[in-house]
Amino acid sequence: MRLALGIRYNGQAYEGWQSQSSGRTVQDKLEHALERFAAQPISTLCAGRTDTGVHALMQVVHFDTTVDRTAFSWMRGTNRYLPNDIAVQWAQPVPDSFHCRASALTRRYLYVLSQSPVRPSLDAGRVGWSMYPLDGDAMKAAAALLVGRHDFSSFRASACQALSPVKEVRRIEITRRGESDRCRWHFEFEADAFLHHMIRNIMGCLVRIGHGKASPEWMLEVLEARSRLVAAPTFSPNGLYFVGPLYDAGWGLPPEATLHAEGAAYDGPP
């Protein structure tokens, strides 16, 4: 049987998603919990690998198993053996042809940025930070230049293993929460796929523009240069959330993982 899981986690304590010899990754913790619940080794694949310190609102994984238990039992039983900052949100049997990565139609990320003269404290690690005010109109104008199908080499980490730097960015929305000098900004990204560090590198450029250190048109110069050397430094991972992939309704996954004509909402962080 092939099973898909939707997982939420706080990435602060982990060295990213992908299994490492240290055992301090989300994949290591999940597979250890699945093995304890199922009493057999289980290997998982994920929809999108996250870096150290990056969070997920709905990571989707799939795996094959000979253990026959209800979807509810997989969710509750696995959560029993997971640390408090990782939790399975749902479990769903899927056809053998389902692949959490290849079957995804689109992927979404959210970056939460705190604008405040004082660094984050209670929400440290869960939000990015800008000490200085940001120009929302300038950032929105710059972000609009990235929408579409482009070569995103300028925003690609040197360790990126993607076969092609060409991706289609379908949506970037920037909204401000609050009117004082202490507010939050939400940056929503949607694309067919993302390169390694792509969003954090775009964020570095957007914040530079928001601070008035570059014009919105500079973003187009960076994009067309196709060189990481011309872009801003990689921004902090702290406020980055993998909102999750969306799939065709025919796979029978929960509504939050299904692409509808009107789009899918997400339950974002506070």
Catalytic residues: 51
Kind and range of the H or E run holding 78: helix 71-80
* Distance of alpha carbon 125 from alpha carbon 50, whole angstroms: 15
How far is the C-alpha of 235 from the C-alpha of 130, rounded, in Å?
A: 11
Q: How far is CA 226 from CA 81, 165, 192, 199, 211, in A?
A: 45, 9, 19, 15, 23
Q: Which of 25, 51, 57, 56 is nearest to 160 (CA)?
A: 51
Of 130, 115, 129, 138, the closest CA to residue 212 belongs to: 138
Angle ∠(68,90,169) on CA atoms, nearest 5: 125
What residues does 55 pair with on adjacent strands?
Answer: 241
How far apart, in whole angstroms, are the C-alpha atoms of residue 5 and residue 8? 10
Instruction: Look up residue 212 and give its amino acid.
Output: G
The alpha-helical segments, DSSP class H, found in 100-190 are: 136-144
As a whole number of angstroms, the distance between CA 117 and CA 169 comes to 32
Task: Compute the distance between CA of residue 176 and CA of residue 200 in angstroms, rounded to an integer.
Answer: 19
CA distance readout (Å), 203 to 61, 155, 210, 228, 254 = 27, 10, 10, 14, 30
